Structure 1
């Protein structure tokens, strides 16, 4: 992988929406028993559930191949959730996740966010470490809006 071949763009096509779903189904089913109802709502129609409500889905390509994705989901006017971040197993460990999260933070700011939050899980130690490394702070579940996932046991927030 040559870092100069990486591009991060907003999701605009049905092909990208399918990749968003596939990438997320892969890691969720690998680490957890099944997708939750809130996963289905987001992944079945990301244009309606994320983009049309003022958020965005970012797609990372290495050349022409989609290798990652992340969503910034509007919770309120200035509060967004970082959600559904995934990198293909073959592309992990190459810094793509870091580039993706930095792009997601920048996109959330462009959309008017002053706070970004997330729910994760201790099983996802590499992801939690990355979130800490870019500036997310651990908080109690009561300090973020509506934790949407039963599997979440790590709650983090960042002031932008």
Structure 2
């Protein structure tokens, strides 16, 4: 049985951290442009600091974290944070191989979108690797539309990313 929860215990947050590291390692393992993007955005030391402050950086009302469980075992996570007055950015949505195709990714995204809406955000931005075509299809099926970059990034990594936006006002 698939459930999506808000992590509350230190053990659950440690599980989210472990999933985030798995995700980072997965992206680096893809090699090429995908690895370049991750190593530019999240070199080891920067990612370690981010993981140490995960709960604070993604705490309501400026953010949130969700954990996907199948029969009580963690299979994925996702989070968001405020990046503007009424804008949230979804980050690090990851589902382990064993749970791909089970609906865990869609359920995580639906929970994150609902959380953003409940906190009064009017827009969600996100990006994903250009090689992650299944993720791109999922985001578009949920109502995200492709857009250009929303932060300053070196031109050398831009073609390794695909950017998306969702207007929450239009869906109310």
Q: Name 2:112's counterpart in structure 1.
A: 104
Describe the SS at the equivalent of 2:76: strand
CA distance in 2, matches of 1:139, 1:58: 25
Report the equivalent of 1:55. 63
User: Over aligned residues, Cα RMSD in angstroms?
Assistant: 2.1
Larger-gyration structure (1/2): 2
1:5-84 equivalent positions in 2, closer than 5 A: 5-32=1-28, 33=35, 36-37=42-43, 39-51=47-59, 54-84=62-92
Secondary structure in 2 aligned to 1:51? coil
Match of residue 93 from structure 1 = 101
In the alignment of these two chains, the number of paired residues is: 152
Cα deviations across residues 97-150 of structure 1 (Å, max 9, x unaligned)?
A: 011111110011011111000011111111111111111111111xx2566xx6
Stretch of structure 1 that moved more, 113-122 or 50-59:
50-59
| Residue pair 1:122, 1:153 contacting (<8 A) in 2 also | yes
- For 1:136, which of 144, 149, 161 is the aligned residue? 144
Question: Whole-Å Cα distance in 2 between the matches of residues 40 and 47 of structure 1?
Answer: 13
Change (3 A) 1:97 1:140: same
Structure 1 range deviating more: 43-52 or 115-124:
43-52
Deviations 1:16-56 (A, max 9, x none): 22211211221221222465145444322211211166211
Any gaps of 5 or more consecutive residues in structure 1?
none
Report deviation, 1:65. Answer: 1.0
1:126 counterpart (121, 131, 134): 134
TM-score by length of 2: 0.79
